[in-house]
Amino acid sequence: KSPAQKKYGTLVNWYDIEKAQELNNQKPKKILIDVYTNWCVWCKRMDKRTFSHPKIAEYINENYYAVKFDAESTEPVAFNGNTFKNPGQGSSSTHQLAVALLQGKLSYPSIAYLNENLQLLSPVPGFYTPAKIEPILKYFGEDVYKNKSWKEFQANFEGEIKAPKGE
């Protein structure tokens, strides 16, 4: 067990993108893609602090297929009928899939939320604490986005996770 599993008991079930598509074909669910880089300090912080929170991990595992995707990966990726590659120019070149998921606005960490048909709902850039990511996960996970604006939803959102003082 990892230190996070020992501390929290639950962790997000991370898949690669091909496995998430395969699972989605059998049992459709939304897909959450954590787009990160190995050098990103805030990405590591989000892993330790946000994705290891028991309520966040449990919600993600129930409502999404979660994918970790290194934006600088050099492996070709088959996704939604297309093959994406890393063109490999420069020391830290960006994978075509990261560019597509983040709509060209490269910022790490970022999470791309996809519906059950593998269509991009929205990329959401930035570091989020458990209390701050909870409404976003539920907004997409529970299809609220279909009939309510984010602003309207957020105004009345009562989360289960309380932010520590000063957050």
Residues 6+ apart with CB under 8 A from 12: 51, 56, 57, 60, 61, 66
pLDDT band at residue 163 using 50, 70 and 90 as cut-offs: confident
How high is the pLDDT of residue 10? 57
Q: Per the confidence metrics, is the pTM higher than 0.95?
A: no
Q: What is the pLDDT of residues 54-107, one digit of tens each?
A: 999 999 999 999 999 999 999 999 999 999 999 887 667 899 999 999 999 999
How big is the chain, counted in residues? 167
What is the separation of C-alpha 167 from the centre of its chain, rounded to a whole number of angstroms? 21
Is pLDDT at 29 greater than 50 in this prediction? yes
